[in-house]
Amino acid sequence: MIYIEQISNVPNEILIVGAIYKQPDLIVDCSQYIKSKYDFFDEVTKFFYDNAIVIYETRSQDFNKEIINTYMMEDETRLKNYKQYGSWEIIQTWMKLAEVKNFKNYFEILKKYSLLREYQRNGYNIDKIINHPKFELFTAEDIYRLVRGKVDRINTVILTNNQAEILNTKMVDTINGCLAKPDMGLQMPYPILNNLFRGLKLKSMMCVGMLSNAGKSRFMFKLIAYITLVLKERVLVLLNEMNLDEMRFCLLTTVINNPEFQSLHGIKINKCERDITLGLYKNRDGDYIYRQTNEWGDFTESVEEYRQRLIKESDEYNQVIQIAKWIEDETQGLIFAKDMKASYDDKSLEFEIRKARITQGIKYIFYDTLKSDENNIGEWAALKATTTKLSELTDTLNVFIYGSIQLTDDANDIPADQLTSSQIANAKQLKHVLHTLILAKEIEKRDYKKYVYIKPNSDWGKPATHELDENKRYYIAVVDKNRFGERKRVLFEVDLNLNTWIEVGEVLRK
């Protein structure tokens, strides 16, 4: 009989750990599948693996001698074991032995042996498997198939680190749990949408679709600003259209002009993004202050001289600077952005989301604009596949993911209140994998007389209807899918120059 001590491959465990210290980002993918309790036989490899996870998640994503040694010295028992097991020198040796490109093979061997150990611990005779002439060629899945039917539960724990639950248990606990913690997500700055969706719920994915150049990125940034500046939650923003400077301008404009933020920073002004990007500010008489030039148009005033003159003559400039400093102070460590234009395939997206969740504890992810991974399959199917992958990650990682999407050009010819998922560019089928879906479009001025709106939270009597103001710009946001409640059409008062989005009520046709 083969003893459990013989069911191990310590050299392979060394290669696994060496590869991780050599390329720590491997932790993003492997930590969800490798659990030292099951997968490592040797106490030394288990020690270095467990501590690599802690260092990556709480200290640094770059490993070197100084970082490792400093971490180990923080705890007396840990430092004692570190020295006993060989310190940095043994890690260096393991790193030299490991080939990162072979990590997939190391992982497969690791799982094969941990699966066999669990089989034997649970009384299954594995002698025939170990002594099989083709044992070295077996994968973990091959071994599972050999004993399938008797050990399904072991396979579930080892290969997926997941266990099935009996659905009809814990019903009373579920009900009472909602007394202590109602099933609500993060509050939105829009009362009607917040009530419909029960907030921005973890383990859910929301998409908001608009026509090209209609403001889908701007709408998204008001949510980002609200989550970070008002609710103080961390967010990850994945970009494949806007660049980081454009993102900063959008965020600044949003915070300057929307009332939710004005009440916090205490400055009530209106300033459009165009003026900020062109460096245009007004004096106290309302006239623009220009940098001085000669008769040929050449600047005769340095940038610093011009800035000092703005400080003296423009209250507007000083207020914008004050708000910008307020944003910097209030969002320290809350907004993380990643430009994905060079690579937005499914694997890269998943890696960035997992890394943000593991290393920064981020639960709210925004992706602008949701595009398909066209490396593998056709465009429409690829977009649905990407959306499916992201939706699955919300449950796996306990996060909320928001994706902005583009509507087809033929949506131009459809009334704003009649948009459906058929107008989603490339893939109307992605609706099926989402939890919530909003489709928004501007109302043509000539159609204003066709609609009325009802303000929320009427205190008494029958809710009154209100006409649309000819001097304002309106969007209708159609809630096309909502797993958490009913669907409505919501009216927004919008100014894209100021990036103000004011939810005014539920819109109805006359």
Q: What is the pLDDT of residue 182?
A: 61
CATH code of the region 191-509: 3.40.50.300
Model confidence pLDDT, tens digit, residues 222-236: 999 999 999 999 999
Percentage of the chain surpassing pLDDT 70? Answer: 88
Model confidence pLDDT, tens digit, residues 321-361: 999 999 999 988 899 999 888 888 888 999 999 999 999 99
Question: How many residues in total does the chain contain?
Answer: 510
Percentage of the chain surpassing pLDDT 90? Answer: 64
Model confidence pLDDT, tens digit, residues 376-407: 444 667 788 888 999 999 999 999 999 999 88
Predicted confidence band at 209 (pLDDT cuts at 50, 70, 90)? very high
Q: What is the pLDDT of residue 378?
A: 46
Q: Compute the distance between CA of residue 487 and CA of residue 135 in angstroms, rounded to an integer.
A: 57
Q: Summarize the confidence of residues 428-438 as an average pLDDT.
A: 87
The token duo for 285 is: 């008489």
Q: Summarize the confidence of residues 416-436 as an average pLDDT.
A: 80
CA 242 vs CA 197, 237, 277, 346: distances in Å: 27, 11, 15, 19
The model's pTM is 0.82
Model confidence pLDDT, tens digit, residues 57-111: 999 999 999 999 999 999 999 999 999 999 999 999 999 999 999 999 999 999 8
Q: What is the pLDDT of residue 442?
A: 95
Q: Summarize the confidence of residues 488-507 as an average pLDDT.
A: 95
Residue with tokens 């500046």: 229
Q: Compute the distance between CA of residue 373 and CA of residue 366 in angstroms, rounded to an integer.
A: 17
Q: Summarize the confidence of residues 158-172 as an average pLDDT.
A: 56
41-45 CB contacts, 8 Å cutoff, 24+ apart: 41/7, 41/8, 41/9, 41/10, 41/13, 41/113, 41/114, 41/117, 42/8, 42/10, 42/13, 44/85, 44/86, 44/90, 45/10, 45/13, 45/14, 45/16, 45/17
Q: How far apart are the first and last CA of the chain?
A: 83
Q: What is the pLDDT of residue 277?
A: 94
Q: What is the pLDDT of residue 415?
A: 87
Model confidence pLDDT, tens digit, residues 463-493: 788 999 999 999 999 999 999 989 999 999 9
Closest CA to 207 of 447, 370, 27: 370
Q: For the chain, which residues make up each domain, given as ranges?
A: 4-160, 191-509
Contact 14, 94 (CB under 8 A): yes
Q: Compute the distance between CA of residue 448 and CA of residue 464 in angstroms, rounded to an integer.
A: 17
pLDDT, averaged across the chain? 87
- pLDDT higher than threshold 70 for residue 460: no
Q: What is the pLDDT of residue 459?
A: 56
**Helices 43-58, 346-360: crossing angle, 10 deg rounding:** 90
Q: What is the pLDDT of residue 377?
A: 45
Predicted confidence band at 6 (pLDDT cuts at 50, 70, 90)? low
Predicted confidence band at 1 (pLDDT cuts at 50, 70, 90)? very low
Least confident of 266-275, 296-305, 416-425: 416-425
Cβ neighbours of residue 354 closer than 8 Å, sequence gap 6 or more:
28, 29, 32, 393, 397
- What would be the CATH architecture of the domain defined by 4-160? Orthogonal Bundle (1.10)
Q: Compute the distance between CA of residue 100 and CA of residue 113 in angstroms, rounded to an integer.
A: 20
Q: What is the DSSP string of 425-482?
A: SS-GGGGGG-SEEEEEEEPPGGGGGGEEEE-S---SSSPPEEEPPTTS-EEEEEEEEE
> In one letter, which amino acid is 411?
A
Residue with tokens 């001698």: 65
CA angle 94–10–137, rounded 5-degree value: 110
Q: Summarize the confidence of residues 183-191 as an average pLDDT.
A: 89
